[in-house]
Structure 1
């Protein structure tokens, strides 16, 4: 069959999905071409591909979203086809047309299918005309804010604002009242325009606590369409999926679940066939626990999904697994499906967890840095692009990898995934590993009682591990061990003096406060005191012992002097402070304790200025929105720390900022001058 496939395929993506596609192309004997931005020159997908072509600068708009640059890369490399992965240009109709005009095959659906299903308003109206049930709402093109406001009363509250273009939850806002709607519409338009280049919005009734269930379909160019069962994707945060599984536990726990599965699969096939769909796609539905027989079409994703591995792990055709990327390539090359719906079976259960570079304990603030060490678990599937030395930047999505566990039943799959997360080690950036394990341990998750609002309800119940005395003792010992050996006794930094040795004092930032440690070298290791608690730390066989117990924490030293720890899925950093650092932080802490707010408004991390909401010299009140900075596809609102007059830095939308860069300063009001009569 290979003689009918392509010789060379370009992968127009990055990260774990690019790696995953390149590996399938290799098994097919197809030459792979990677593309990359300046930020990804040393990325894993670049080194794995047979050849690689630079697209442009680090921002996606200058590289992965530059259609002309991708077309040029195709021509330069001789690529006959392009696999877009997901995100970026995967559902961009202009990109599909440009490839068609250039005589290059798009490994995806036809242009008209992308055009129709890529617009939520058109797709919703279209499938409704083909007897596919949809959520009540208003879905018309080019509605203004005023028209949406007027229509909201007919839709009813609570309602959901959704962008017509794109997906992934970006630009979606739940609104409980008419008073909240104007501001939510403005934010939704801004997000949709930036993410998709189209700020068209529509409204639909918000189904409280629904389940998000999607159906994978495959369709060839010869009129054959099949569905490959469903995935449960209800565990979401900010409309982004976190943990996905197949099959859906809702149907597994229902006496007539198999019948509902077939009805939903048939609806998905009907939706795909109604637009002449070709390739791999996903039809998404909302389902209520109370009435699982009643499901509503949400949208169709005309591409591969992030969560496709759970389908690959459970679907069997004539007893064999399917490779969806393999079939995407074969279908694009004109080959027909060689199996029927009756030959599709589901075997066992699979669960996937998405590992993100973020800090769950700080409202999921994205984390950037250099990967110092990565150790991925055995016994599960890991889709990853991580490697030692990889730079995690603020330019792209924060997802690092996906861990996928399969077992004969759901409880065993959940347990296997938890063990994998426990064993997974990533040093150099904070991750959500601990948070994922807390989710898996939740009693409702374990029982399969899922809905899209579960995470929001449960977040207050989760208690995240903080850096404690043990980690600080380990950091103090490691820091001492890393000191260069002196060539003279007088330069030695071991605390030696006549009589009793003088303890070595060190200060560390544990992420929340300054902690002082004292260390006394011993013949075997270090005697360390932290907050009145004593520890004996030794280096034994390239590992660490603390109070005669082997430490399970893995560690690495970053270029900025921070010691990184990873332990049972939890990750943290402890930074050694200089005397100057200690003084600065103590002065800042005293000012804060005395009730004096810092007048400076800082960016929490490197990012891009999206908007500036006030003008220089404007009077503002505490909590007022001053500016919005985006990093890793997330918006961060910067608020006024107190009442006063704002002085803006010389920044404009589109400008990049560094971590802790001053965005604005709020000067306190001159009360006496204000009270004097004019």
Structure 2
């Protein structure tokens, strides 16, 4: 594709962080454009800050005080002479306020017009707008201004199950599935709370839930001359809690007629708002009846999954965004060739309900031979302030089956130590027979849950034991003794001391003798608490060395606990912020009653009463809590 550029930018500010900031900076460097990074206090040492030509601090760690501060972003652009601002995705990427502030300051916003943002940034408004333009939509209604009783009446008319979602924002945040009328009230309260906190707007829309939906989106581009093109579709069906996990381009075997309808409807939706720049029009189709397509929303920005479209079209979509923003004219869309699959590697623990994980990355060793867009490097800190994505791994091949196998192999060779990750789970998805066959729907992942913890392999224990012996002998911290290609090995110094480890599941495991302490393919490192992190074939375990005295103490404690009642303390399952308190201090509750809700990294989790009793609250809304911190005590006659 060629462009006719009207003007050229010398300096562009990237109003984002993590892997997307690094991705945009990479293209700016290739185009010879000076890049400006912005950063919060939590990101002062982040890779994107070092990789940019210049960087400006814009505030404290919380996003509301930095990356979401429009005045700070505009101030950084003015101070550095930036002629344009690229918002990336997330944060201010769909902000009408930022687009208006750019216009007032004479700065180009690399994105669509204010009118397009206003229409498509509100799900209810977008739904009504495209419906008037002839684009098919899912049956539903805008709940803005309606009482809960009126909403219940409308919902009954539409029919259950229903999907409740915020009008503002995206990314699946705040969405609630309502199976029947009895669950509607609590779902409305939860969705409003998340929507208000995340988007500053608690307006909701309700839509009929398609029982076996496939989520397919179309990448569109528009220029200032009125041309809109579609760059093929992406399959985003493999998701959990409305968060995409694996994406691919093109989609997995939809009928050609359906593909044509998708592309035509996407162009029609974009043309209805005279769209300029990169956008994504999202649709649902029924996996059992794929002939019909239903518009659900339009994201007025670049998407996380844009690399798969780049790989099958040969385009640099960031470069295309910059060219369009500079006044360039689009040509015809190039043909789609081959197949690309992307997996999102997150700092989270699938075995613990996908709870986010925080900490220092002791080792990040990405696979060779595939594309990796990474947010971290060895030494990076994963905090609870931002999205827990670590990297995107993208594999490409001539056909889908080969691309999936290459992705699985690349994940096998991906090493992240220091935080829990979903790498092993991603490999499970790549190998699932339904995924391989392309028999997809958005509920597929839920059928694999809950996940069982797989114990560390003998090789992982052997190498971890070897490193523990070395550390004990030398007093050293994290050590890697030898590297062979992309595989790290830790080798014992020859000591034969018995080493026992305590897993995160409170299980005692023993390391083999030193002469066996080799593991080609095992990566190890020790953290600041003396625990050994070991990884093999995408599986990771945190192993805490315990001596004989500690093992005896644990056996005695376990024996005592078998004769006692449930612990009275309700504890935080993850670090985060208290966003709701569901009971009053001194209230009587039954086992399983939600006491508080904790939000971290786009997820909200309830903390439940461990047994019947009287609640004593230890936290309040707005408090920040650590993992395992007591948030309440539930006392009974026995434990008072």
The TM-score with structure 2 as length reference comes to 0.93
**1:12 pairs with one of 5, 15, 40:** 15
8 Å Cα contact 1:507/1:514 also seen in 2:
no
State yes or no: 1:340 paired with 2:332. yes
State yes or no: 1:668 paired with 2:636. yes
8 Å Cα contact 2:235/2:249 also seen in 1:
yes
Q: Which moved more, 1:616-625 or 1:581-590?
A: 581-590
CA 1:110–1:516 in 2, change beyond 3 Å: closer, same or farther? closer
State yes or no: 1:21 paired with 2:24. yes
Offset of residue 594 of structure 1: 2.5
CA 1:607–1:537 in 2, change beyond 3 Å: closer, same or farther? same
Matched residue SS, 1:6: coil
**Count of aligned residue pairs for this structure pair:** 618
- The match for 1:637 is 606
CA 1:592–1:88 in 2, change beyond 3 Å: closer, same or farther? farther
- The match for 1:481 is 470
CA 1:573–1:93 in 2, change beyond 3 Å: closer, same or farther? same
Deviations, residues 68-116 of structure 1 (Å, cap 9, x unaligned): 2111111121111111111111111122112222221110000110110
Q: Rg: which structure is higher?
A: 1
State yes or no: 1:74 paired with 2:63. no
Q: Which moved more, 1:66-75 or 1:295-304?
A: 66-75
Separation in structure 2 between the aligned mates of residue 459 and residue 156 of structure 1, nearest angstrom: 28
State yes or no: 1:330 paired with 2:328. no
- The match for 1:435 is 425
**2:164 pairs with one of 161, 164, 174:** 161
8 Å Cα contact 1:2/1:28 also seen in 2:
no
Offset of residue 581 of structure 1: 6.0
For structure 1, which runs of at least 5 residues remain unmatched after alignment?
316-320, 487-501, 518-527, 529-534, 674-678
- The match for 1:648 is 617
Separation in structure 2 between the aligned mates of residue 179 and residue 580 of structure 1, nearest angstrom: 53
Separation in structure 2 between the aligned mates of residue 417 and residue 469 of structure 1, nearest angstrom: 25
Q: How does 1:186-585 map to 2 (within 5 A)?
A: 186-251=189-254, 254=255, 257=256, 259-315=257-313, 321-337=314-330, 339-341=331-333, 344-460=334-450, 464-468=453-457, 470-484=459-473, 504=497, 506-515=499-508, 517=510, 535-538=512-515, 544-545=517-518, 550-577=519-546, 585=554
The TM-score with structure 1 as length reference comes to 0.88
**2:591 pairs with one of 602, 622, 640:** 622
8 Å Cα contact 2:415/2:538 also seen in 1:
yes
Offset of residue 188 of structure 1: 0.6
**1:114 pairs with one of 89, 110, 117:** 117
Offset of residue 379 of structure 1: 1.3
For structure 2, which runs of at least 5 residues remain unmatched after alignment?
476-494
Deviations, residues 392-451 of structure 1 (Å, cap 9, x unaligned): 011111111101111000111111111100111111111111100100101110011111
CA 1:583–1:155 in 2, change beyond 3 Å: closer, same or farther? farther
How much is the aligned-residue C-alpha RMSD, in angstroms? 2.1
Separation in structure 2 between the aligned mates of residue 174 and residue 347 of structure 1, nearest angstrom: 37
Separation in structure 1 between the aligned mates of residue 315 and residue 52 of structure 2, nearest angstrom: 23
8 Å Cα contact 1:357/1:368 also seen in 2:
yes
8 Å Cα contact 1:282/1:301 also seen in 2:
yes
Separation in structure 2 between the aligned mates of residue 637 and residue 588 of structure 1, nearest angstrom: 28
Separation in structure 2 between the aligned mates of residue 187 and residue 267 of structure 1, nearest angstrom: 33
CA 1:295–1:2 in 2, change beyond 3 Å: closer, same or farther? closer
- The match for 2:483 is none
Separation in structure 2 between the aligned mates of residue 46 and residue 149 of structure 1, nearest angstrom: 49
State yes or no: 1:96 paired with 2:99. yes
